[in-house]
């Protein structure tokens, strides 16, 4: 068969360069020895998830701790999945978590010498290489229709055979020249398939940078490399792009392990050196006692937008991911509590080999701890950032009074007090936690545990003597007096010795006042809360709290 003629009939493009020209256009990168070039290669679907961040963080850490490059390539070969603005959203989301690209799609960088970074814009390279494979008898046109392929799959499934296009099932593999040209003449659409040289009885031992040695079976599938619209499949584009962009380490999800044999064969027939691969394990969660993969449909916490809209402190999410990425990170953190996580020596060999367990309680603990290292001013800035983007109009009005919020934050975070409190888990809950300091969001639950007459007597008694100028001890002396006046023990010890002689203790009196003023039975120091609210608002709340 005249393969040259076949190749130029199937791929007639006259703009394709000789292959050496492509090699020249993408010269070796000038990097230090040991520098790793990594990439994130998402489809532009607009959905960026925790797994992407997990993987991107590993890519970014490895590139940046070895003096390498981390770039962004957009795998847009499937137009159906394209969403406008998705690329910007990937960049913005990762940037929010402190993960930044050096090079790539929509990145303004002088390093952008290996593009285009959108696969759709690289069509000629793929076509040039597919054409070369056809000329060398390593690829061929396939005219099978969807229905024919389905019928084959059903037959294979029924016979419990491996499904796919291989061996005797690869019907177009051995079409004669006449048959091919007759099909073309009849206008039948075609795809280009790899003419696999592999044999499944051969095993290959492969060293995965994360999983270690794994044995895979040689590929014998005649996979599609160019679809009928001339656009490559993931497999083909992966081999070509990672070769020309000089990726040294491909970190990708373990769902790609099953196609690894295809990639090994593609690199071989294309004559490209194989990059290193690291297949990351999936993020799992325990759901009703059963461990399962995080799912887009069932778990909102898989989406990265969730962390932003819930107001997680970005550094906390990153640190949490570091704890699951590298098992020795936590210990390093304990020893270096003040250090930046970027100073940690990230190591791909310490990455988990199987199912990483995602534990939101642990994330919450890390988030609380991180937030408790901020000053009131920094806490304000963080909460305010969330409020401006995700808060209500009322939140925005509240946050316009920075001084007032700072006073509240000093109190609820225990800043300047004996013990720093760790109550704020994330911005959203932090903002809701201070709602009661504002009349328009004060939503009291008057859950008193005493009869109305007692409640009213306590409130009226206290309102009559409340003085904003009182310090904590003068304030508490007044609460004790109200307790004594109303049949409550002023001293806890008296109450404990003789509980039946009293209606309750001074703590119960304080609770009544607390419920009236904050609308809740628990709050930070009540004397300070009253001080922040100011006298007229405190008195108004006391009055409104009577039953
Ligand atoms: N586009 C592929 C994905 O989003 C990329 C996999 C890879 O990193 O090679 O899963």
User: What's the pLDDT score for residue 81?
Assistant: 78
pLDDT at 83: 85
Residues 135, 131: Cα–Cα separation, whole Å: 6
Tell me, in angstroms, the distance from the centre of ligand 1 to residue 75's CA: 7
Structure tokens at 433: 């936690």
Site of tokens 């690829």: 139
Degrees (nearest 5) of the Cα angle 134, 138, 140?
55
How many Å apart are CA 446 and CA 432, to the nearest integer? 18
* pLDDT value of residue 415: 87
Specify the residue with its C-alpha closest to ligand 1, atom 3.
42
Residue nearest to atom 4 of ligand 1 (CA): 42
Separation CA 139–CA 173 (nearest Å) = 9
370 in ligand 1 pocket by Cβ < 6 Å?
A: no
Q: Are strands 276-280 and 249-253 parallel, antiparallel or unpaired?
A: parallel
Strands 203-208 and 290-293: unpaired
Nearest one of 393, 402, 394 to 435, comparing CA atoms: 394
List C-alpha distances in Å: 75 to 171, 231, 281, 326.
Answer: 30, 11, 21, 28
Ligand 1 center from residue 303 Cα (angstroms): 17
Return the closest-CA partner of residue 356 out of 206, 209, 250, 254. Answer: 254
Strand partners, 215: 205
DSSP line for 68-88: -EEEE-B----GGG--TTHHH
Q: State if residue 238 touches ligand 1 by the CB under 6 angstroms criterion.
A: yes
Residue 237: Cβ within 10 Å count = 24
- Integer-rounded Cα Rg, in Å, for the chain is 33
Q: What is the pLDDT of residue 403?
A: 97
| CA angle in degrees (0–180, nearest 5) for 208-34-264 | 35
Q: How far apart are CA 536 and CA 36, in angstroms?
A: 64
Tell me, in angstroms, the distance from the centre of ligand 1 to residue 42's CA: 5
Render each residue's pLDDT in the chain as its tens digit; 547 residues: 999 999 999 999 989 999 999 999 999 999 999 999 999 999 998 788 999 999 999 999 999 999 999 999 999 998 887 888 899 999 999 999 999 999 999 999 999 999 999 999 999 999 999 999 999 999 999 999 999 999 999 999 999 999 999 999 999 999 999 999 999 999 999 999 999 999 999 999 999 999 999 999 999 999 999 999 999 999 999 999 999 999 999 999 999 999 999 999 999 999 999 999 999 999 999 999 999 999 989 998 899 989 999 999 999 999 999 999 998 999 999 999 889 999 999 999 999 888 788 999 999 999 999 999 999 999 999 999 999 999 999 999 999 999 999 999 999 998 878 889 999 999 999 999 999 999 999 999 999 999 999 999 999 999 999 999 999 999 999 999 999 999 999 999 999 999 999 999 999 999 999 999 999 999 999 999 999 999 999 999 999 999 9
Nearest to 139 by CA among 271, 7, 5, 2: 7
Strand order in the sheet with 356-357: 290-293, 283-287, 356-357
pLDDT of residue 280: 93
Judge if the beta carbon of residue 76 lies within 6 A of ligand 1: no
Ligand 1 pocket check for 43: Cβ under 6 Å: yes
Q: How far apart are CA 547 and CA 448, in angstroms?
A: 10
Atom of ligand 1 nearest to the CA of 255: 10
CA distance 183 to 190: 9
Closest atom, ligand 1, to C-alpha of 42: 4
User: What number does the ligand 1 atom closest to the CA of 55 have?
Assistant: 8
pTM of the model as a whole: 0.89
Give the pLDDT of residue 322.
96
Q: How far is the CA of 41 from the centre of ligand 1 (A)?
A: 5
Structure tokens at 274: 């194989």
172 three-state secondary structure? coil
CA atoms of 121 and 111, how far apart (whole Å): 18
Atom of ligand 1 nearest to the CA of 238: 9
The finding on whether 278 has its CB within 6 A of some atom of ligand 1 is no
Ligand 1 probe mutation, 252, 257, 276, most atoms within 8 A of CB: 252
**Peptide bond preceding 50 in cis form (omega within 30 of 0):** no
Q: Quick one: pLDDT at residue 46?
A: 79
- What is the best residue among 253, 254, 257 to mutate for testing ligand 1's pocket, by most ligand atoms within 8 Å of CB? 253
Using most ligand atoms within 8 A of CB, pick from 37, 59, 75, 296 the residue to mutate for ligand 1: 75
Helices (H), ranges, 166-207 = 177-185
Residue 69: Cβ within 10 Å count: 25
From the CB of 263, is ligand 1 less than 6 Å away?
Answer: no
Ligand 1 atom 1: residue of nearest CA: 42
464: tokens are 């009559």
Per the document, the length of the chain is 547
Query: H or E element: which one contains 446?
Result: none
Quick one: CA dihedral 325, 326, 329, 330, positive or negative? positive
Ligand 1 contacts CB of residue 48 (under 6 A)? no
């Amino acid at each position: 068969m005249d393969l040259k003629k076949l190749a130029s009939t199937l791929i007639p493009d006259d703009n394709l360069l000789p292959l050496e020209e492509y090699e020249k256009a993408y010269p070796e990168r000038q990097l230090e020895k040991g520098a790793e070039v990594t990439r994130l290669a998402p489809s532009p679907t607009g959905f960026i998830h925790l797994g992407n961040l997990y993987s991107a963080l590993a890519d970014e850490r490895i590139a940046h701790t070895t003096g390498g490059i981390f770039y962004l390539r957009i795998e847009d070969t499937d137009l159906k999945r394209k969403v406008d603005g998705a690329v910007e959203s990937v960049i913005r989301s990762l940037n929010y978590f402190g993960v930044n690209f050096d090079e790539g799609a929509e990145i303004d960088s002088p390093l952008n010498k290996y593009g285009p970074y959108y696969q759709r814009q690289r069509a000629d390279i793929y076509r040039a290489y597919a054409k070369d494979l056809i000329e060398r008898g390593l690829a061929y046109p396939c005219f099978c229709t969807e229905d024919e392929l389905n019928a084959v799959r059903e037959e294979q499934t029924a016979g419990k055979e491996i499904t796919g296009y291989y061996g005797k099932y690869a019907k177009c593999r051995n079409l004669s020249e006449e048959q091919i040209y007759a099909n073309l003449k009849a206008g039948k659409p075609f795809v280009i398939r790899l003419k696999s040289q592999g044999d499944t009885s051969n095993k290959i031992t492969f060293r995965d940078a994360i999983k270690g040695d794994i044995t895979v079976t040689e590929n014998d599938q005649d996979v599609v490399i160019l679809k009928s619209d001339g656009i490559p499949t993931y497999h083909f584009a992966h081999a070509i792009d990672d070769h020309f962009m000089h990726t040294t380490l491909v970190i990708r999800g373990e769902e790609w392990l099953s196609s690894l044999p295809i990639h090994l064969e593609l690199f071989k027939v294309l004559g490209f050196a194989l990059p290193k691969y690291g297949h990351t394990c999936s993020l799992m969660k325990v759901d009703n006692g059963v461990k399962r993969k995080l799912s887009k449909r069932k778990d909102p916490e898989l989406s990265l937008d969730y962390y932003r809209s819930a107001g997680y402190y970005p550094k906390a999410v990153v640190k949490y991911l570091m704890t699951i990425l590298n098992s020795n990170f936590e210990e390093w953190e304990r020893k270096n509590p003040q250090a930046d996580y970027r100073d940690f020596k990230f190591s791909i060999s310490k990455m988990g080999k199987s199912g990483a367990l995602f534990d939101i309680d642990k994330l919450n603990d890390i988030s609380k701890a991180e937030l408790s290292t901020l000053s009131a001013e920094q806490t304000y800035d963080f909460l305010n950032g969330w409020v401006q983007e995700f808060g209500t109009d009322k939140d925005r009005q509240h946050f316009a009074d920075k001084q007032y919020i700072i006073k509240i934050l000093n109190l609820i975070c225990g800043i300047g007090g004996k013990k720093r409190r760790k109550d704020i888990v994330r911005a959203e809950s932090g903002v809701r936690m201070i709602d009661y300091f504002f009349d328009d969001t004060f939503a009291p639950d008057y859950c008193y545990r005493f009869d109305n007459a007692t409640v009213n007597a306590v409130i009226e008694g206290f309102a009559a003597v409340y003085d904003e100028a009182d310090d904590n001890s003068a304030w508490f002396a007044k609460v004790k007096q109200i307790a004594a006046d109303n049949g409550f023990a002023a001293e806890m010890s008296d109450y404990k010795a003789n509980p039946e002689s009293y209606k309750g203790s001074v703590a119960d009196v304080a609770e009544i006042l607390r419920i009236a003023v904050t609308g809740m039975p628990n709050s930070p120091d009540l004397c300070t809360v009253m001080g922040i609210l100011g006298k007229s608002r405190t008195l108004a709340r006391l009055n409104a709290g009577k039953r």
